[in-house]
Amino acid sequence: MFQKILVPTDFSPSADAALDLARRAFPQARLSILHVQDVRAMGVPDLSTGGLAPVIPPVDVQQEIGQAERERLRALTLEGEEADMLVGDPVQGILKAARDLGVDLIVMGTHGRGGLAHLFLGSVTETVVRESPVPVLTIRHA
Ligand code: ATP
Ligand code: MN
């Protein structure tokens, strides 16, 4: 039924659960694991508000983060699986990869590293579910 599956990961437990589910439920499918490096903004503690202030990291720091994420992605990928990395907005990256790779299913976590635990769905998953041309299977980390 499903032959090519995209599993987007932000390396969170929920994304790990999605990868595990995709492997076990669709052992005959080709898996593409995708990480989108989100360079738009990082949250740094803002002492004046007690919250997080958005900061764009400098290019050399972005490159170092990219290297580390590439390494994590490689460590996650099993033989016979494909791994890709994009830079930019996670939602747009996931939808573009889904189109370019011609996947027929996306399997992803309900939550990620941003993790406002009370929200039903993280914002990346919510938008992908709404805009994806192919079915999206979501899994919540137990
Ligand atoms: P928010 O980002 O809105 O604070 P969140 O981090 O809890 O919420 P999402 O970002 O929607 O939740 O993450 C849900 C799933 O989306 C993850 O389990 C993962 O499958 C996918 N995902 C999120 N960010 C990325 C990313 N940068 N690259 C690839 N996949 C991602
Ligand atoms: Mn997130």
Q: In this structure, which residue's CA is closest to atom 2 in ligand 1?
A: 114
Average predicted confidence (pLDDT) for the chain: 93
Q: Return the exposure string of 31-60: e unless at least 16 CB atoms fall within 10 Å of the residue's CB, then b.
A: bbbbbbbbbeeeeeeeeeeeeeeeeeeeee
Ligand 1 pocket test target in 9, 10, 139 with most atoms within 8 Å of CB: 10
Query: Bridge-partner residues for 5, per DSSP?
Result: 31, 105
Enter the pTM of the model: 0.92
Chain position carrying tokens 């790779």: 101
pLDDT in tens, 35-67: 999 987 677 788 888 888 878 888 899 999 999
Please tell me the predicted confidence (pLDDT) of residue 120: 84
Please tell me the predicted confidence (pLDDT) of residue 10: 96
Name all residues whose Cβ lies below 6 A of ligand 1.
Answer: 8-10, 12, 14-15, 18, 34-36, 38, 90, 108-109, 111-116, 122-125
30 Cα–ligand 2 center, Å: 25
CA proximity to 20, closest of 86, 99, 95, 81? 81
pLDDT in tens, 104-115: 999 999 999 876
pLDDT (mean) for 72-90: 97
CA proximity to 57, closest of 39, 38, 37? 39
Start-to-end Cα distance in the chain: 27
